[in-house]
Structure 1
């Protein structure tokens, strides 16, 4: 039964153009092709990333935060109360008036004391600026490394300048060592984020982050297995360019360098618009939608990949609307992104989805 399902899932007609089979992608004549088995290494690498991250945050990010005057805020710890703690963990962190009255009777405390207990309990769980700074520092360093690493891997490739070359000889395109490490590092990083999401700073889009990580790993794996590696690296590089600016804006936000933070956010907004709303649809989606049919008839994998990219484009348009609205507000003196509470929701709905990064805009 399992073998039948396996064979159906990997049926050639689903993932490969007509007249091609998986046998055609076996290593031969000096060519090495991407294989699903190559991705197994991302699991132990994800664990290595967690260790490297812990070391970086403790011995590099924390001293940097101290030099910028960022300290961990100590919140008053609540007194032990099993009744209130059980309600806090299993029901809600912000009980309504009727719930407060009920808890007051059960615990023997006044309604005001119950409300104060829940307020302090929420503050106790709220992550400090130091924790946010360390996480943003780690992501910034990784995104910066992958962005420049992507440039070094692609600058001398013909498809970096002429997207028609992406499909030349597809799918019989030999895998390059630089492409291998680009994909492995990206997927390992996303895997580490998935492993660490339970103890990272939890924002309002916690569930969306989980969906994002899983969707990203799925699409990266798909592009790897069907040898969409050239276009995959281009899409990742395009998204990297704005994410580096975003994480740097977070760092200056936590350090309370408001002018620098605001300036970086404006630059980020410009780069986002250019890369996500111009280059992405008019170069990359055009490349995946128009050029392939010049070489082979459309097939399921072709439609699947393009539909996913179009969905991502729609999300980009939505995020761009929110970003432009924020830029307009604080440029005209109505709001500063590092202060106003209205800045939070718009930044928090910017989770990077397939081929993007996990870059939730800073929440203060």
Structure 2
């Protein structure tokens, strides 16, 4: 039975166009092709990333934060309340204003308390080169390591998300990480490597700006953080709402059909691209909304919130107002990359 399932899973018509077999992608004449077994290394690499992250946070980031006078935010757990817990379990986790007022009376709470390296290649500037000779396209060493590091990083994010602070877009984060892992893995199996490197490079282009904005935000360098965030917002919107759908997705949807009939892998890859693009629109909405508010001089809470979803105590809200996050940047405490 296992052998039958294995055969169905690796059926060539799922992964490759007509008249192409796995034998066509065997290494020969000095040409090397992507293999599914290559991805085994990403799991131990993911755990290595987790260890490196822990060591960095313990021995580098924490002492550096102390030197910059960045203080850890106090997080208070809500006191267990039988009335509230019964209502949330039996009725809804999103009560209306009337329900909140009713619960505050019953529970004795206030209303607030209740509530890699890649050299430029021809396909980087001529998208038709992405499919030239597909799927008989050999793999470059830089592509190999870019894929291994990128996929390992996303595995590490997925493994650590349960222990990180649970934020408002927790579900979207899970969907993003899973979709990205599937998309990267599938593009490797189906030898969509040129398209995959383009997509990953495009997503990476705004991430270093986001991480920089986070650091200056925690350090209390408000003006620097604001300026970097504006640049990040512009790069994010241009790359993920303009270039990705109108250039890259056009490349993956239209150009392949000039070479071969659509097959399962073609549909599956582009479906996962639509999932990622939907998440980009969601995050772009938060970014634009926040940027508009602080450009106009309004001081507001983080649209995502760096707090846990269930942590709504008055003390924490007061601490947030007086802390380095009071300028309320969305996604500045976000662990997502590419995309989300």
TM over 0.5: yes
* 8 Å contact from structure 2 (residues 286, 304) kept in 1: no
* 8 Å contact from structure 2 (residues 286, 303) kept in 1: no
**2:23 alignment counterpart:** 23
Q: Per-residue deviation at 1:215? A: 1.8
Q: Per-residue deviation at 1:197? A: 1.8
Count, aligned residues: 310
Q: Are 2:119 and 1:154 equivalent residues in the alignment?
A: yes
**2:200 alignment counterpart:** 236
Q: Per-residue deviation at 1:73? A: 5.0
Distance 1:74 1:232, change over 3 A: closer
4+ runs deviating over 6 angstroms: 75-78, 81-84, 94-103, 349-353
**2:316 alignment counterpart:** none
**1:38 alignment counterpart:** 38
Structure-to-structure mapping, 1:40-79, within 5 angstroms = 40-72=40-72
Distance 1:270 1:296 in 2: 37
**1:315 alignment counterpart:** 279
Q: Are 2:301 and 1:341 equivalent residues in the alignment?
A: yes
TM-score by length of 1: 0.74
**1:282 alignment counterpart:** 246
Structure showing greater relative contact order (alpha-carbon pairs closer than 8 Å, 6 or more residues apart): 2
Structure-to-structure mapping, 1:1-364, within 5 angstroms = 1-72=1-72, 111=108, 149=116, 152-155=117-120, 157-333=121-297, 335-336=298-299, 340-341=300-301, 343-344=303-304, 347=330, 356-357=338-339
Distance 1:266 1:30, change over 3 A: same
* 8 Å contact from structure 2 (residues 143, 193) kept in 1: yes
Q: As a proportion of its length, which structure holds more helix? A: 1
Distance 1:102 1:279, change over 3 A: closer
SS in 2 for 1:154: coil
Structure 1 unaligned segments of length 5 or more: list them.
104-110, 120-148, 359-364
* 8 Å contact from structure 2 (residues 128, 251) kept in 1: yes
SS in 1 for 2:72: coil
Q: Per-residue deviation at 1:239? A: 0.8
* 8 Å contact from structure 1 (residues 319, 350) kept in 2: no
TM-score by length of 2: 0.78
Q: Per-residue deviation at 1:240? A: 0.8
* 8 Å contact from structure 2 (residues 34, 191) kept in 1: yes
Distance 1:292 1:54, change over 3 A: same
SS in 2 for 1:327: helix
* 8 Å contact from structure 1 (residues 208, 351) kept in 2: no
RMSD: 3.5
